[in-house]
């Protein structure tokens, strides 16, 4: 279930509200282009500025529209353990195939606190749990030893989305965790290196605009065509750099607006790109052949 190119899908807005029909269109586009899974309400989906009703609605719409064509991995994390449990139970009841659990932000818990947080969530549901380690946005790193203990003690904690940027840390996770524990890249630019150390795929931002190329990169590696995988890696790198010129998902949503994929609407405190970075993004899209 947890392999290939899995998209951290944007939440499209229109006139300040979730554009439900556009979300359905984007899901169909992703599946048609070879995406292996859908993650609604992740960082790229602006989960931090969705209210509870919207959060539940986006996950439910995603599950209902996907219709089991690919797994739906619902973003249901929170810095409040009780809140994360509530959101995860809702997603499980709606039929989510798994849950993505970001480490608690702002609180800065200890490693013991992280362990107890994730263990409590895992024990509250039967669906698989993917840990999401992104210290750059949460302020705390889930250490490999903590991940390994969770993988050993909680049978439904089955994978980690690693966005630490450290291949050394990811290698330690692979060496410490059970063999069936999955490592997913959380950085588009590190997809190929992560695959090379035993990762099984990517939860991707750039796949929102070029899903086929991201899926093809992972597929080429799995088939042993390292030359093709490397060529796609280097083809994607300038575009990846462009979609992280500013805080995610500002650039990728702006790009989708430029390409007519959805409205580029963001919710404060996310705001429009600076003119200088917007020009860099446009150039990257043109160089890639996406924008005339």
CATH code of residue 164: 3.20.20.70
The first and second tokens of residue 186, run together, are 């959380």
Residue 180 lies in a domain: yes
Residue range 243-283, pLDDT digits in tens: 999 999 999 999 999 999 999 999 999 999 999 999 999 99
Instruction: Quote the pLDDT of residue 180.
Output: 96
pLDDT at 1: 78
**Is residue 172 a part of any domain in this protein?**
yes
Which stretches of 87-198 are assigned E, i.e. beta strand? 98-102, 129-133, 157-162, 182-185
In a domain, 138, yes or no: yes
Domain membership flag for residue 247:
no
Number of domains composing the chain: 1
Whether 238 is covered by a domain: the verdict is: no
Domain holding 209, by residue range, is 4-223
Pair 99, 74: CB distance under 8 Å: yes
Residue written as tokens 């190119």?
A: 5
Euclidean distance between CA atoms 87 and 55, whole angstroms = 8
Say if 267 falls within a structural domain: no
User: In this structure, are residues 73 and 87 in contact, taking their beta carbons and an 8 Å threshold?
Assistant: no
For 34, the 3-state DSSP assignment is coil
**What is residue 122's predicted lDDT score, i.e. its pLDDT?**
98
The reply to whether 244 falls in a domain is no
- Domain membership of residue 266 (yes or no) is no
Catalytic residues: 132, 161
Q: Measure Cα distances from 84 to 48, 120, 269 in Å.
A: 13, 10, 22
Catalogue the E-assigned strands of the chain: 4-8, 13-14, 17-18, 37-39, 73-75, 98-102, 129-133, 157-162, 182-185, 201-204
Q: Which residues of the chain have pLDDT under 50?
A: none
């Amino acid at each position: 279930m947890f392999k290939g190119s899995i998209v951290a899908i944007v939440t499209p807005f229109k006139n300040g509200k979730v554009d439900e029909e556009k979300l359905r269109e984007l899901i169909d586009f992703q599946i048609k282009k070879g995406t292996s899974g859908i993650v609604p309400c992740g960082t790229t989906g602006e989960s931090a500025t969705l209210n509870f009703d919207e959060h539940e609605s986006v996950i439910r719409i995603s599950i209902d529209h996907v219709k089991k064509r690919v797994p739906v991995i619902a973003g249901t994390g929170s810095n409040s353990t009780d809140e994360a449990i509530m959101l995860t139970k809702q997603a499980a009841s709606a039929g989510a195939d798994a849950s993505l659990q970001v480490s608690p932000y702002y609180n800065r818990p200890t490693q013991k606190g992280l362990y107890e947080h994730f263990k409590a969530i895992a024990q509250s549901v039967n669906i698989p749990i993917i840990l999401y380690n992104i210290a750059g946005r949460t302020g705390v790193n889930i250490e490999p030893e903590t991940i390994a203990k969770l993988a050993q003690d909680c049978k439904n904690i089955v994978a980690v989305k690693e966005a630490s940027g450290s291949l050394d840390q990811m290698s330690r996770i692979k060496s410490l965790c059970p063999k069936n524990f999955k490592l997913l890249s959380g950085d588009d630019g590190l997809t190929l290196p992560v695959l090379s150390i035993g990762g099984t795929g990517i939860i991707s931002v750039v796949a929102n605009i070029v899903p086929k190329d991201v899926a093809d990169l992972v597929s080429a590696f799995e088939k042993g065509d390292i030359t093709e995988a490397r060529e796609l890696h280097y083809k994607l790198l300038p575009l990846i750099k462009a979609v992280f010129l500013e805080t995610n998902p500002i650039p990728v949503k702006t790009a989708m607006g430029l390409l007519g994929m959805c409205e580029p609407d963001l919710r404060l405190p996310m705001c429009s790109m600076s003119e200088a970075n917007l020009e860099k993004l446009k150039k990257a899209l043109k160089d890639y052949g996406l924008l005339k």
